[in-house]
Amino acid sequence: MSESVLLDTTDGVLTITWNEPERLNALTAAMLDAAAAAIEEATDVRLVVITGTGRAFSSGAALGPGFDGTATLDSANRLVRAITSAPVPVVSAVNGLAAGVGVSIAIAADLTVARTSGYFLLAFVNIGLMPDGGATELVAASIGRARANRMAMLGERLSADDAAEIGLIHASLDDEGYAAELTRLVDRLGHGPTVALARTKAAITATTLSHLDDALEREREGQVALFATADFAEGGQAFIDKRTATFTGQ
């Protein structure tokens, strides 16, 4: 696991890095649990940064042989809860594409900065599933019902620039600007008034994500049912085969 998830704590900053670049940082339950545990057990930390290696932040859950949908879902929910309840700010540094539950994790952070070359994709509908990891609350709380439905039901890419423009993320920047802004956020938040930041985060989270736990439970119930459908079997196989799925509504 140490190779799939890199953990580093330096100067009070815990950095969690997804490290499966050849798989576009597709996430397993074990990877998600490792990240959640790192946040839950962190001591003497004033900031958490989550990012990925290679050209992706995360392509979402690791589908394919051995995929355990329920276990992955539960671990993703654990991580989202850890991010939103952490007593320190959490920054997502989206170095490339963020898809599926990768979107949920990226925007669960308090501030999300992305490379302009990246994009956000709620790809669930393309494989016969529904958004999870709290996306039904996190996305709608950020950009409203209409845009959330557009992302969730049409499964279209949202560029990093558009994501910043409509308020899904903090900023979209070119490579140089991305690195500079990430450094600025780490310095500002990592050396800021930790107790005040914790109180601020808790207050804003309580106001804007007051139904997150309900959303996570609702998504879990729906997603577990969808895992058993013919449409997901077809969608998952089509994803592996790199072809367009043919859904029958069953």
Give mean pLDDT, residues 87-113: 98
Number of domains comprising the chain: 1
Domain of residue 26 covers 5-174+194-208
- H helix intervals, 86-227: 101-108, 135-143, 145-154, 160-165, 175-190, 194-208, 212-227
d(CA 143, CA 166): 6
Calpha distance 157→232 (Å, rounded): 20
Could you tell me the pLDDT band of residue 66, with boundaries at 50, 70 and 90? confident
* pLDDT the model gives residue 2: 58
Per the domain annotation, does 249 fall within a domain?
Answer: no
pLDDT in tens, 158-179: 999 999 999 999 999 999 999 9
Q: Tokens in use for 45?
A: 């930390």
Is 232 domain-assigned?
Answer: no
Q: What is the pLDDT of residues 213-247, one digit of tens each?
A: 999 999 999 999 999 999 999 999 998 898 999 99
Domain CATH for 39: 3.90.226.10
Question: Checking DSSP bridges between strand 5-10 and strand 158-159, what pairing results, if any?
Answer: unpaired
Model confidence band, residue 64 (pLDDT cutoffs 50, 70, 90)? confident
Burial class (CB in 10 A: 0-12, 13-18, 19+), 113: buried
Domain membership of residue 96 (yes or no) is yes
Q: How many Cβ atoms are within 10 Å of 205's Cβ, its own excluded? A: 18
Residue type, 240: I
Domain annotation covers residue 221: no
